[in-house]
């Protein structure tokens, strides 16, 4: 019989794993499998070679490759090990994000060849998208199928130091049953190009607008943010506790930071990031006796921003002044971090938050998922994890977010599963 390649399911949301299997090779034959995906116009590729079993079968959920772009048993290794072909691109999704990703898979054994494709979607059928340009807000609202007043809990999604609108995560949240508002606060139409001097009241307006717009089920509005957004969601939960039902903090900071690499050059990277009542919120670089950028600026490329942050944390008085008062949060908290975070010490920061909440006997659930050898880029399942060396989107400095592709892929998968369980439990607790 001819060589066959099967992929199931062939069409599903991006967070659904696929079963990839080759049949009718010769027993013991080498089977080479290539995966090709076009992402925002750029071709990404991976390749691995397998040895067929006694029945002439290769099953990626069972078999490790003999060679190739990943090692060990990994059912979706052909996706997370992809790299862009002749391009420095880090863009993993299409525009618009509702346009699905199509991966073509080719299996070759001897002179025989078999092909199949599968589709990964961020937005399931029935999800709707709406640009938001109201009350000074700049963002995008994604609603689940059958959305109406009081039918779905809500989540507001905030990006990190790259700025912009996090539509991919919002689309996937909506596909999983949440009214999802991706709110930009810089590097988006009509907003500043920089993070410096961002008023927290802007996010309070966003929370109130979202409640008014979707009338969320059980009045539940969570906030989800990554990196500087992870710092921000903890800060918002502490500053506006009555308005935040739950906090999802990806690779967060436990202290307030200065503008850093996303700063307005006129203000400088040691200038303030957040304002409240028109006044800067104290940050860890202020009057800091130990802080220096030298380990980041002068170290070898790719630079590790985390090395400079660690110098700032050696001044206990500066840390105390800048610490986010997480004990003021009135809801459950989940943190997701990596032990090899190259951008800042998200594991240490998450431990600081967890320890403080334990100390004050926080009356709501607190979870911390910490990934060994994981880096700063924790996203969601089944996307490429190879591009952790990059030019910062604002400063342009060549840096590493840390981690290994395999460990980052594990963090992507397990963190998303953990967040969905956390939010489901938080909504049920709110209802009760």
The residues that are catalytic are 227, 341, 376
Partner residues linked to 141 by β-bridges: 130, 181
Q: Which run of H or E residues covers position 201?
A: helix 201-214
Hey, what are 370's tokens? 């910490």
Are 224 and 157 contacting, i.e. CB atoms less than 8 angstroms apart?
A: yes
CA distance 372 to 110: 40
Position of tokens 């090709």? Answer: 36
- The pair phi, psi for residue 52, each rounded to 5°, is -65, 145
Hey, what are 285's tokens? 């670089």
CA distance 279 to 412: 37
CA 146 to chain centre: 26
Residue 27 burial (CB count, 10 A): 11
Residue 210 burial (CB count, 10 A): 25
Residue 67 burial (CB count, 10 A): 11
């Amino acid at each position: 019989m001819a060589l066959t390649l099967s992929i199931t399911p062939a069409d599903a949301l991006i967070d659904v794993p696929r079963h990839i299997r080759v049949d009718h090779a010769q027993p013991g034959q080498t089977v080479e499998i290539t995966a090709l995906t076009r992402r925002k116009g750029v071709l990404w590729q991976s390749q691995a070679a397998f040895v067929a079993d006694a029945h002439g079968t290769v099953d990626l959920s069972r078999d490790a490759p003999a060679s190739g772009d990943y090692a060990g048993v990994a059912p979706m290794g052909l996706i997370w090990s992809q790299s862009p072909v002749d391009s420095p691109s880090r863009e993993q999704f299409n525009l618009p994000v509702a346009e699905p990703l199509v991966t073509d898979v080719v299996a070759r054994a001897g002179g025989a060849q078999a092909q199949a494709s599968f589709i990964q979607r961020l937005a399931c059928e029935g999800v709707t998208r709406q640009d938001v340009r109201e009350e000074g807000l700049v963002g995008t609202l994604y609603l689940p199928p059958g959305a109406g007043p009081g039918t779905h809990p809500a989540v507001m999604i905030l990006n990190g130091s790259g700025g912009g609108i996090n539509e991919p995560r919002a689309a996937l949240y909506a596909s999983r049953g949440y009214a999802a508002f991706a709110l930009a606060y810089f590097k988006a139409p009509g907003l500043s190009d920089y993070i410096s001097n961002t008023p927290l009241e802007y996010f309070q307006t966003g929370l109130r607008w979202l409640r008014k717009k979707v009338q969320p089920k059980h009045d539940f509005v969570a906030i989800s943010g990554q990196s500087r957004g992870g710092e921000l969601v903890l800060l918002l939960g502490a500053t506006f506790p009555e308005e935040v039902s739950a906090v999802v903090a990806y690779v967060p900071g436990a202290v307030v930071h200065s503008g850093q690499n996303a700063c307005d050059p006129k203000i400088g990277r040691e200038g303030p990031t957040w304002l409240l009542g028109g006044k800067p919120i104290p940050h860890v670089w202020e009057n800091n006796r130990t802080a220096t950028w030298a380990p980041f600026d002068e170290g070898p490329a790719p630079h590790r921003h985390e090395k400079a942050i660690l110098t700032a944390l050696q001044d206990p008085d500066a840390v105390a002044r800048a610490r986010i008062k997480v004990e003021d949060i009135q809801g459950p908290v989940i943190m997701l971090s990596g032990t090899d975070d190259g951008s800042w010490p998200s594991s240490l920061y998450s431990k600081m938050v967890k320890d403080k909440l334990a100390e004050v006997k926080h009356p709501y659930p607190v979870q911390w998922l910490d990934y060994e050898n994981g880096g700063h880029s924790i996203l969601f399942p089944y996307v490429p994890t190879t591009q952790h060396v990059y030019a910062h989107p604002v400063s342009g400095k060549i840096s590493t977010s840390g981690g290994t592709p395999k460990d980052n892929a594990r963090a992507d998968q397990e963190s998303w599963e953990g967040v969905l369980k956390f939010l489901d439990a938080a909504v049920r607790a709110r209802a009760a």
